[in-house]
Structure 1
């Protein structure tokens, strides 16, 4: 990765067939590592070892602000146009394309369509679907983009992030009565993957 100052940038992504298209705003190059872990409400790049994420091969990219940093461009109504999978407490929707099967993002909360002025000069004003949240005391929505669906760019190379130990690994496989292990950077917990 080039040594440049991190700044907020628009990253485009999609499923394989293009039915699902989105923009996620990330601070790039990803500034966090084991020596400088993210604080609450900052973007995270992580993998967990729960059976759901393991089987789906989810490479979580959790943007800092669920409303301002993730915008679904297509379809504008994911609950009607995309397929969804829920498990455990059934609070999170793992959305996936009904045509090609690619899982682009996970969401919990309330979404809405909105007209926004995108920072990206190519886009201008556009109708998008995004989290409904005023940033206040309401329940914070959860958004996690599957990093493997972000269009390739030199400053967001998942291989380099892994090699530079900028990916956190969470333990979600321990039984409820066991104490979950602390997040770590050097390698996945039992049952996880790089």
Structure 2
């Protein structure tokens, strides 16, 4: 039985606060509409020790409630298309985003699916796809791109957030981005980590 629930996440000092909707258990069939739980062996993820937890819909299932995006550290990689955001106070990397940030006022309790919210509106930041240019057959092509991944170790424990259980149930997989074999598997690839 699958269930969608909202999970809170933060940096160590609590300055960075976010919420993410996740539907458990993940569907492990390639191409399925599902959350994704994985570790990547690219140099960026390896050096950061990043544990990927990606929502089904980056635009709908992820919000930052504090601080403002401008107050976060932002380390840019992959032709500066992806930002790995971190708290400037404690240094914890909380999420990676490739998309454009949008600030809006929402009822966070309603967004989280809680009944009986007070209708209190709060400023949050969410992401939308952005246009990126790539070269295909010698021609420049513009396409939409949207990527959001939270660092699973920054999720507050409880409910479905049990990193050991994710591994034991086989929900976690390992991605090969160094040699780009295209093989996802249950064991780390060369230079990867458990």
- Name the TM-score, length of structure 1 as normaliser: 0.83
| Match of residue 13 from structure 1 | 9
| Gaps in structure 2 of 5+ consecutive residues | 131-141
Distance (Å, rounded) in 2 between the aligned partners of 1:37 and 1:62: 15
1:149 to 131, 147, 154: 154
Report whether the alignment pairs 1:192 with 2:192: yes
Distance (Å, rounded) in 2 between the aligned partners of 1:159 and 1:123: 36
Report whether the alignment pairs 1:101 with 2:106: no
1:111 positional shift: 0.8
Deviations 1:32-67, CA, capped at 9 Å, x for gaps:
3xxx42535431111100111011111101101011
Deviations 1:62-87, CA, capped at 9 Å, x for gaps:
101011100000013x1x20111122
Q: Secondary structure at the match of 1:54?
A: helix
| Gaps in structure 1 of 5+ consecutive residues | none
Distance (Å, rounded) in 1 between the aligned partners of 2:79 and 2:128: 21
Distance (Å, rounded) in 2 between the aligned partners of 1:44 and 1:151: 18
Distance (Å, rounded) in 2 between the aligned partners of 1:123 and 1:69: 21
| Match of residue 26 from structure 2 | 31
Compute the RMSD of aligned alpha carbons: 2.1
Matches for 1:106-125 after TM superposition, within 5 Å: 106-117=96-107, 118-121=111-114, 124=119, 125=121
Q: Is the 8 A contact 2:26 2:35 kept in 1?
A: no
Distance 1:97 1:152, change over 3 A: same
Distance 1:90 1:120, change over 3 A: same
Distance (Å, rounded) in 1 between the aligned partners of 2:3 and 2:30: 15
1:62 to 54, 57, 65: 54
Q: Secondary structure at the match of 2:184?
A: coil
Distance (Å, rounded) in 2 between the aligned partners of 1:167 and 1:74: 29
Question: When the two structures are aligned, how many residues end up with a matched partner?
Answer: 177
Distance (Å, rounded) in 1 between the aligned partners of 2:158 and 2:30: 22
1:84 to 74, 88, 98: 74
Distance (Å, rounded) in 2 between the aligned partners of 1:55 and 1:123: 43
